[in-house]
Amino acid sequence: MSKTKNIHEQKILILDFGSQYTQNIARKVRECEVYCEIHPCTIDFKTIEAFQPKGIILSGGPASVMEDDSPLVDPKLFKMKVPVLGICYGMQLITRLLKGKVNPAKEREFGRAELMLKTFSRLFKDVHSKSVVWMSHGDRIANLPKGFQTTAFTDNSPVAAMENSIDKIYGLQFHPEVVHTDEGIKIIRNFLFNICKCQPLWKVESFADYAIKGIKDQVKNGKVLCGLSGGVDSSVVAVLLHKAIGDRLICIFIDNGLLRTGERIKVEETFREHFHMNLKVVDASQRFLKKLKGVTDPEQKRMIIGNTFIHVFEEEAKKAGDFKFLAQGTLYPDVIESVSFKGPSAVIKSHHNVGGLPENMELELVEPLRELFKDEVRALGREMGMPEEIISRQPFPGPGLAIRIIDEVTPERITMVQEADKIILEEIKGAGLYKKIWQSFGVLLPVKTVGVMGDARTYENVVALRAVTSTDGMTADWVPLPYELLGKISNRIINEVKGVNRVVYDISSKPPGTIEWE
């Protein structure tokens, strides 16, 4: 089998009913090296047929199937002779559509529960007879649909799992896709391989060749413009494009003066010298600083930086020549948020010009990563030989250090934040914690405090240290860094960063706080 062949041939369709865990389902299926896509539950039956899935998964959701306006699917789906797995709401929907009965549970079941297997099921092959699962439901199955049997139960759910093994329709009252379900990945693998008969064809090395071929087919002999930020996504996009079209790719890196120490040099060394790309570096730092003069409102900062970036990019794009294509690092979560079913509002955000570029640029988008999750992008970058320093780097905000200065942005304050940031990252890396932390950084606060340095009174600035763990940035917990490490970071910042005499540690989680301070 050639590397580019068949990676989408065997695929799973996930119909989204608004569950907070829907992306987890897709990630788990992808981890099993099976391709899948999430689509809103509102898509029509012809679209489902045209997708030609090897199996269908119905997600959970916040609604109750007993409500008059609860989301449904076309019952013809169950006549396709394709295995179906319903999770939580998906299981209750199967019951309703196939003439079973769902009732409100006497006690709502949320959190961990002990699952007990009742009878043999291919879905539970190699799963222990008793295991911990994660529940999140207020309704339960009262009467099974015809042809179904109960395969597992909990103390509060007499029907925690059901199946019609002849028609290959399965239901789970719990969530196998979350980490709190101890053997959830076994259940998902059983559905994919024992029931749907999928093969593990979805591999990063296969995707690289597939994406390169897709770029060539789309671009043909055209030229592509790529806004390079130095982050993971835009960097992987640039390398893929360069492998596909070589010097017909022009990358533009805009130095806005709000970057980490040495960022511009690293980008030039990596992409110009290591990958031999056609890279144009634009120093617009003074332009950004001038626009930000006197501004303290965080939203105004973001607007100014975003608009200035667009204007600079447009100007440089015109100078670079005649282009028809613009490359963007759109990822699959961006696409999902545009189309997934999320209750009455239907759409979280419109997916267009993810990088913030104006629609009237009249450039055709090239988005080679739009089928990938973040971890898959990192794996792809490693497969293509990209430096680990880029692939494993922590997220960095689009507005840069401007939103880590809780006051007017000035050259002096930028220098303080850059130097503090450098120390924090050096010490976090030195402690072996960098890859375990989602983000770690310093924030310059708009207050001054009294201190004593060298027997002299000081009245200087405060830096807040922030370190959080997260999987997607939507929620985050503060990291209990070792006291010794905190002390070392604090000591270095106070001694090495001119103008700072105090360091504090932020122990807020998200929610209620946010990761960045602005």
Helix (H, G, I), strand (E, B) or coil at 503: strand
Query: Rounded to the nearest 5 degrees, what angle is found at the Cα of 343, between the Cα atoms of 340 and 348?
Result: 50
Contacts of 268 (CB under 8 A, 6+ apart): 253, 279, 281
Catalytic residues: 88, 175, 177
According to DSSP, the residues that pair with 172 across neighbouring strands are: 87, 161
Find the distance separating the first CA and the last CA of the chain, reported in whole Å: 50
Q: Which residue has the tokens 């250090």?
A: 401
Q: Which residue has the tokens 């440089």?
A: 316
How many Å apart are CA 19 and CA 137, to the nearest integer? 11
According to DSSP, the β-strands at 130-143 and 101-117 are: antiparallel
For 401-495, where are the E strands, in sequence order?
A: 439-453, 456-469, 477-478
Name the amino acid, one letter, at 70. S
Contacts of 413 (CB under 8 A, 6+ apart): 405, 407, 444
Contacts of 265 (CB under 8 A, 6+ apart): none
According to DSSP, the β-strands at 55-58 and 161-164 are: unpaired
Residue 480 exposure: Cα atoms within 13 Å on the Cβ side: 0
3-class SS shares of the chain: helix, strand, coil, % to 5: 35, 25, 40
According to DSSP, the residues that pair with 225 across neighbouring strands are: 250, 326
Residue 205 exposure: Cα atoms within 13 Å on the Cβ side: 6
Whether residue 512 is preceded by a cis peptide bond, meaning omega within 30 degrees of 0, is yes
